[in-house]
Amino acid sequence: MSVQKEYETVKELLTNYLEERKFRKTPERYAILEEIYKIDEHFDIDYLYNLFKKKHFSVSKATIYNTLELLMEAGLVRKHQFGKVQAFYEKSYFNKNHDHIIMLDDFEIIEFCDPRIDEIKNDFEEAMDIEIESHSLYFYARKKKVDNKK
Amino acid sequence: MSVQKEYETVKELLTNYLEERKFRKTPERYAILEEIYKIDEHFDIDYLYNLFKKKHFSVSKATIYNTLELLMEAGLVRKHQFGKVQAFYEKSYFNKNHDHIIMLDDFEIIEFCDPRIDEIKNDFEEAMDIEIESHSLYFYARKKKVDNKK
DNA sequence: CTCAATGCAAATCATTTGCACACCC
DNA sequence: GGGTGTGCAAATGATTTGCATTGAG
């Protein structure tokens, strides 16, 4: 699906979300959503903020924080803590649930999926009579050192 | 094993760790280690800081931060981010590796172990030729709503 | 027109840093 | 004694908040 087509889809979802709760359809909310769905990696607040600054479309950080919060609630964005203070985000609608390997050498982020996570999740839900709303799994890894001893 | 006995054990481990690297054996480092091994839950920096304040044993926050960092490196403490800004810690030596379920109703923290995590870890290590140093897995859950419709 | 949303700056909160002093080695 | 570790306070950096202003409904 093209980027433009994807945006059309999530834009509709946002509109529904806002209308359902009688929230306002501000240009900032749509602009932020659109930018996010153009980004293919993980980004932080500053990245978005600078993006808008470069485009001479002024959006304050307060609004970015607020809007990302709202988009999370709408299920259109995922937030990550990666063990850092500063949070990272990513678009979430067309990406199915996935987990992350953080490469400690260069902080590259690799995504992966493994059905066993869901199995574990389901087992615990049943065993403990709880409902697991979400999960976060990070592997922190390094490239294997080349072993010169042969 | 009694709390006192446990402390004796980790105290020795800390001593070895410090001696190996020619770090100093300061009273603060041992006092912090001892307190931590008396705590059976997850705690944050402030909790520790206030604990010492109450005992009239003065330890600065800077030292607590430094020492927890050191104890982590020594493998005696684990740090958690739980998706919050502020970090939580727990003693780690007698607890084997485990993961956490965070109950969103009351922020209770439940620990669990599941061998499938290690399986996943091993599979990825092999498939990608990396070494996974650590991982963090949290399930965010709620008690199941009682269904009155029968 | 009204009130929710935005923008800006100030406030907050966890964590880090700089530096003088203390005390382990 | 010498230099690492500590304490304190100031600095930092991400996030939150308060409030005046704007603009969506």
Q: What is the mean pLDDT of chain A?
A: 92
Using 50, 70 and 90 to split pLDDT, how confident is the model at B147?
Answer: low
Do B106 and B86 sit in the same domain of this protein? no
For residue range B37-61, what is the model confidence (pLDDT) as tens digits?
Answer: 999 999 999 999 999 999 989 899 9
- Residue ranges of A 76-105 with Cβ closer than 8 A to chain B: 79, 81-83, 85, 101, 103-104
**pLDDT score, position B148:** 54
d(CA B44, CA B28): 17
Name the residue among B130, B132, B142 with its Cβ closest to that of A131.
Answer: B142
Final residue of a structural domain among B51, B77, B93: B93
Using 50, 70 and 90 to split pLDDT, how confident is the model at A150?
Answer: very low
For residue range A133-147, what is the model confidence (pLDDT) as tens digits?
Answer: 999 999 999 998 775
Characterize the bridge pairing of strands A130-143 and B130-143.
Answer: antiparallel
Do B54 and B6 sit in the same domain of this protein? yes
Separation of A70 CA and D20 C1' (Å)? 23
CA atoms in the 13 A half-sphere facing the CB of B125: 17
The count of other CB atoms within 10 Å of the CB of residue A55 is 11
Asked whether residue A148 carries a pLDDT value surpassing 60, the answer given is no
Do A38 and A108 sit in the same domain of this protein? no
Asked whether residue B149 carries a pLDDT value surpassing 50, the answer given is no
**pLDDT score, position B76:** 96
- The structure's pTM equals 0.87
For residue range B68-122, what is the model confidence (pLDDT) as tens digits?
Answer: 999 999 999 999 988 778 899 999 999 888 999 999 888 889 999 999 999 999 9
- Lowest average pLDDT, out of A12-26, A35-49, B91-105, goes to B91-105
**B150: its two tokens:** 């029968």
Please give the tally of structural domains in chain B. Answer: 2
What 3-state DSSP class applies to A136?
strand
Asked whether residue A149 carries a pLDDT value surpassing 60, the answer given is no
Instruction: State the DSSP string of A74-118.
Output: TTSEEEE-TTSSS-EEEE-SSSPS-EEEEETTT--EEEE--HHHH
Using 50, 70 and 90 to split pLDDT, how confident is the model at A107?
Answer: confident
Specify the CATH number for the domain of residue A23.
1.10.10.10
Q: Which nucleotides of D are covered by protein (CB under 7 A)?
A: 4-9, 13-18, 24-25
The answer to whether B41 contacts chain A (CB < 8 Å) is no
Percent of chain A having pLDDT more than 70? 97
Final residue of a structural domain among A93, A110, A131: A93
Domain that holds residue B37: 1-93
Do B62 and B105 sit in the same domain of this protein? no
Do B85 and B117 sit in the same domain of this protein? no
Do B87 and B100 sit in the same domain of this protein? no
Which of chain A's residues 14-73 bind strand D, using a 7 Å CB cutoff? 18, 24-27, 44-46, 61-62, 65, 69
Do A80 and A125 sit in the same domain of this protein? no
Do A21 and A86 sit in the same domain of this protein? yes
